[in-house]
A and B are shown apart, each in its own frame.
Chain A
Amino acid sequence: MLPLLRCVPRVLGTAVAGIRAAAPSLPLLQPASRPCARPFGLLSVRAGSVQLPGLLRPWGPCGCGCGCGGLHTEGDKAFVEFLNDEIKEEKKIQKYKSLPKMSGGWELEVNGTEAKLVQKVAGERVTVTFNINNSIPPAYDGEEGPSEGQKVEEQEPELTSTPNFVVEVVKDGSNKALVLDCHFPEDEIGQEEEDQSDIFSIKEVSFQSTGDSDWKDTNYTLSTDSLDWGLYDHLMDFLADRGVDNTFADELVELSTALEHQEYITFLEDLKGFVKSQ
């Protein structure tokens, strides 16, 4: 029998930067030239001194001659060069210059890493919320690496953002929201063979008050781990009737991946600006 109920635990937390497309040569590994090396006397720390070591102490005008007055190391310079290359590479592989549209009548609101899709249908407001932080599952490492002399495929795996998402359904004139917490399967990338998981699944269901900004843990929460499958299928049909079906889930992944990549590039640019700032 094929393992229908198989579930592979997922290790949360991602080393996103670590599995991005590799930037070209690493300047940090090159022999560093030292155009603004200070005399050793300036770097020394006298016994009993309460001052910071010279290297970390802001010393009036920068020793390299740029006149900035701030900390300005060879490492920072190499870091900025690395970031420049990384940003260039990421922009080259960026699939969408603006966020893709969802089909159907969904309106998109983005607030930082959080996205909200809203749709009003026949006396109901349906809201789908997700956050792209920690939304890329870790890459699957095969048990055996390539043997010596074997050619290694250079192509980087395409990263896909599969965030948990929350669907809230509110009837007009009511302050009660039916909240369904939905997840994508927890298999790692590269383990798609014989995958028999639904494209997405409902994990928890509860009622929350629309007036409360935080969820109340005192409200009954239905976990689908031990749920009657008949009820589960009705809940899935309920979502499908409100536009949250497998096609929607595919489009959400596309949107989330685009947003995650956009935020990653913005982060790299911010990081470069921070390192460079004087």
Chain B
Amino acid sequence: MSLVVRNLQRAVPLRRARLREKVQAVRRALGVQRFDLGVVCVDNRKIQQINRIYRDKNTPTDVLSFPFYENLKAGDIPQPEFPDDYNLGDIFLGVEYIFQHCKENEDYYDILTVTATHGLCHLLGFTHSTEAEWQKMYQKEKQVLEELSRHTGTRLQPLSRDLF
């Protein structure tokens, strides 16, 4: 099913094909490649606006997820009855924020991959409100990124590693 990438910003460079390749690998690792997914790349101003509207937080951030299935149990793969429901939802990537927070030894596209993995886990019901929930999410992200690392040779760390 479709992965749709949108680039709504002009603050930082973005190779769409490269981002797509990374997100496709994450979808495969999570076993959700049959589901539609939207990845929308925005600048600080836009993600701050969305963060303010939907989370009441008036600051830019790295990723915001809008799940199609809102009450999914962490880790469950949706079982849609209709073809149109093969949809996970949308991830907004604050690519300007991510670019600005990349350290010198970090690759921008690797960090985009880590951030998209975190966002996709949110679409699959994972959260990090409590330590128990965080443990589950951290383990899932770690598992996915380790699988990617086996193919690419990189060592990617979950975004949620320092949350608790």
Show the binding face of A for B, using Cβ within 8 Å: 1-2, 4-5, 195-199, 229-230, 233-234, 236-237, 240, 245-247, 250
Judge whether B17 and A197 touch: CB under 8 Å: no
Q: How far apart are B20's CB and chain A's nearest CB, in angstroms?
A: 5
In angstroms, how far is the closest chain A Cβ from the Cβ of B101?
21
Given contacts A1-B67, A237-B15, contact A245 B10 (CB under 8 A): yes
B interface residues with partner A (beta carbon < 8 Å): 2-10, 13, 15-17, 20, 38, 40, 66-68, 87, 89-90
Residues of B within 8 A of A198 (CB): 6-8
Q: Which residues of B have CB within 8 Å of A240?
A: 13, 15
Bound CA span A1–B123, Å: 10
- Give the chain B neighbours of A4 by CB distance below 8 A: 4, 6, 38, 40, 90
Q: In the assembled complex, which residues on chain A have CB atoms less than 8 Å from the CB atom of B2?
A: 229
Q: What distance in Å separates the Cβ of B82 from its nearest Cβ neighbour in chain A?
A: 15
Q: Interface SS of chain B: helix, strand, loop or mixed?
A: strand
Question: What is the CA–CA distance of A197 and B38 in the complex, to the nearest angstrom?
Answer: 11
Q: How far does the alpha carbon of A199 sit from the alpha carbon of B5 in the complex, in Å?
A: 12
Contacts of B4 in A (CB 8 A): 4-5, 229
Q: Considering only CB atoms, which chain A residue lies closest to B88 in the complex?
A: A1
Q: Are A233 and B8 in contact (CB under 8 A)?
A: no
Q: Is the CB of B8 within 8 A of A1?
A: no
A1 to B13, CA, bound (A): 27
| Given A1-B66, A1-B90, A233-B10 contact (CB < 8 Å) | no
Residue from the list A5, A197, A229, A246 in contact with B5, Cβ < 8 A = A229
B158 to chain A, nearest CB (A): 25
Whether A246 pairs with B10 at a CB distance below 8 angstroms is yes
Say how far B13's CB is from chain A's closest CB, in angstroms. 8
| Extra contacts besides A4-B6, A229-B20, A236-B7 (20): CB < 8 Å | A1-B67, A1-B89, A4-B40, A5-B38, A196-B8, A196-B38, A196-B40, A196-B90, A197-B6, A198-B8, A199-B7, A229-B2, A229-B3, A229-B4, A230-B17, A233-B20, A234-B17, A237-B16, A246-B7, A250-B10
A246, B3: Cβ atoms closer than 8 Å: no
In the complex, what distance in Å separates the CA atom of A31 from the CA atom of B87? 65
B148 to chain A, nearest CB (A): 18
- Which residues of A sit under 8 angstroms from B20, Cβ to Cβ? 229-230, 233
- Does A237 contact B17, Cβ atoms closer than 8 Å? yes
| Alpha-carbon distance A246/B6, docked complex (angstroms) | 12
- Docked Cα-Cα span, A9 to B16, in Å, equals 26
For residue A78, give the distance in angstroms from its CB to the closest CB of chain B: 47
